[in-house]
Every structure is written in C-alpha cells, then in structure tokens.
Structure 1
Amino acid sequence: MFTSDRLALLVSGLGPIGRMPGARGTWGSAAAVLVAPLCFLPLPIALRFVVLAIIFYIGAKAASRTEIVLGCKDPGHVVIDELVGQWLTFLPLAAPTTFELVAGFFLFRAFDILKPPPVRASENWLPGGYGVMIDDVLAGVYAAVCLLVLIWLRA
C-alpha cells in the first residue's frame, strides 16, 4: 500500500475512529461533538465556514481514494463526513450548552441514518468522495434547523 493510500485511510477514518467496532458513523459524530468546543466552536463564524469548506474538500479527496483502496462505494471506514455534518449542525451556535451539544448529536445522527429527501438522493449528485460528503452536509443542515427550532421552543 502506498503512503498516499495510508494517508487517505487515516484522514477519511479520522485516525483510529474509522476502525472502531459497531456504528462507526456514531463514533465519528461523537468524536466531532467532543472536539467541537475545543477547536471549532471558539472560532468566529466566518472562519468556521472556511474550516468546514477545507475539511469538506480534504475529506472528499480522502474518501475518493479510500473508495479505490478498499474497493467499495462509501465504505464504513470513512467518518470524516460525520465530522463535517456534525460541525455544520453547530455552525449557527455561538456557545452551545451541554444540552444543545447532546441534542445536536442526536438530531444529526437521526437525519444521517434516516436520510429524508433529498439527503439519500444527494449521495448520487456528485462523484466519488464528494457524494460521500454531501449527504452529511444536508443532514447537518436539517439538524441545524431543527436544533435552532428546539432552542427557540425552550427559550
């Protein structure tokens, strides 16, 4: 295996998370929630958009290579898409509470698993790793909207 293949597996799997047993997407989302308050949420909103765009691009490239290396479409090993979708869920929040982080986690997981229209169809809108990433972006948008409504209802 080439070094670039190993790097693609490492990046797309968020290190060891992509190899964890069971529901890897849930592990990836949980990791994203745990690190968000440390390295994503403190950033100004404009920089958050830039960070998400960069991670989306790098994740799509790594996921494309991972599909080739592992020989299957959207392999379970790829969890960088969960990072992008989960962080997108928290994008509009300045300083989310623990309740909001937990609620955002469950909302994102629900939309990522259930894939309401057009989330499921979006996987085929773009080729390779971009298709892997885009459905989680849409699930994150759905989750963000629902989280904002939930916060508003609790106020």
Structure 2
Amino acid sequence: MLRHPAHVLAQGFGSGLSPIVPGTTGTLFAWLSFVVLSTRWPSLFTPMNWGIIIVVGYFIGVWACEVTGKNLGVADHGSMVWDEIIAFWMVLLLVTPAPLMTQFWAFIAFRFFDMVKPPPIGYFDRKFKGGFGVMFDDIVAAFFALLVFALWRIW
C-alpha cells in the first residue's frame, strides 16, 4: 500500500486491506470518518465542503484506482475501496442529519446495491473498466440507495 500515494487512497488508508469483506470495511471507514470529521470540525466539514470533497475525491479516485489496478495486475482489485468511501460519503451527505438507525439502514441499502449489483449496476460494472469503472458502479449503487430512502420518506 505504501509503495505509491495512489495505493494509499485507493485502498482506503488501509481499510481495504481487511482480509474479510474489504468493501464493507471500507464503507464502515467511510461512515466513521464522515461522522468523526463532521462532528469534530463542523465549520470545516460543512455540507458544501463535503460536496466538494466528494466531487474532487471521485476524480482523484478514478486516477488512484487506475494506477493501483495496473500496479496490482487486477483492474478492480478487492482491496480498492475508495469507490465505496466516496459513494457512501455521498449517501451520508444526502441522508444526514439523521439518527444513527437511519444511517445504519443507509449503510445496509448501499452495501446491498454495491454487493448484489442489480441492473443496471451490474451492467455498468461489466461495461466500464479501469479507474472510471471502479468508481462509477459504486456511484450508481449510491443513487439506488438514495432512491430507496427517497421512496421510504414519501411513504
């Protein structure tokens, strides 16, 4: 992980190196870091700044996942979790402020769509490769999780 700065980012500052469910571990890291940063420095980690961090982080993530995938010899290596981190930060940004239980269900919804990859998520996962492909399918999974929450709030 420490051989290249892209690896540190793509592998979620080490959270993707978990031997068991690295994607879930990366998403848990996203949740913890979002809550800690937003609580500890609320004037710095405002919704506007989170939006900027997510957009910039997405584009940097395309590069980091491209480099890391090439260096590891696997385009979408399981240890690369920056895609989960950025996507779940987006979910949390649009769901919070919310009680812990609501955040938990957002976590479950996101992980479901990211792991199961129902259409069209699975299509995008197969169609797009490289850093863009790694990042894009998780953004689509985040949109599906947010759609579930939007429908849930309507009812």
In which range does the TM-score fall when normalised by the shorter chain?
Answer: 0.7 to 0.9
Q: CA deviation at 1:123?
A: 2.5
Query: Which of 51, 54, 61 is residue 52 of structure 1 equivalent to?
Result: 54
With the length of structure 1 as denominator, give the TM-score of the two structures: 0.86
Superimposed CA distance per residue, residues 62-118 of structure 1 (whole angstroms, 9 cap, x where no aligned partner): 100011111012000100000111112223234121011101110000000111111
> Which residue is 2:21 aligned to?
23
With the length of structure 2 as denominator, give the TM-score of the two structures: 0.86
Q: CA deviation at 1:10?
A: 0.9
CA distance in 2, matches of 1:35, 1:21: 20
Which structure 1 residue ranges, 5 or more long, are not aligned? none
CA distance in 2, matches of 1:101, 1:70: 33
Superimposed CA distance per residue, residues 29-69 of structure 1 (whole angstroms, 9 cap, x where no aligned partner): 11111111233585444333221111111111110001111
> Which residue is 1:139 aligned to?
141
Matches within 5 A, 1:1-155: 5-39=3-37, 42=42, 43-153=45-155
CA distance in 2, matches of 1:72, 1:92: 32
Q: For 1:92, give the aligned amino acid.
A: L
Kindly, what percent of the aligned residue pairs are identical? Answer: 27
Which structure 2 residue ranges, 5 or more long, are not aligned? none
Instruction: Give the paired residue count.
Output: 151
Q: For 2:66, give the aligned amino acid.
A: S
Cα RMSD after superposing both structures: 2.1
Q: Say whether the 8 Å CA contact 1:29–1:82 is kept in structure 2.
A: yes
Is the partner of 2:24 in helix, strand or coil? helix
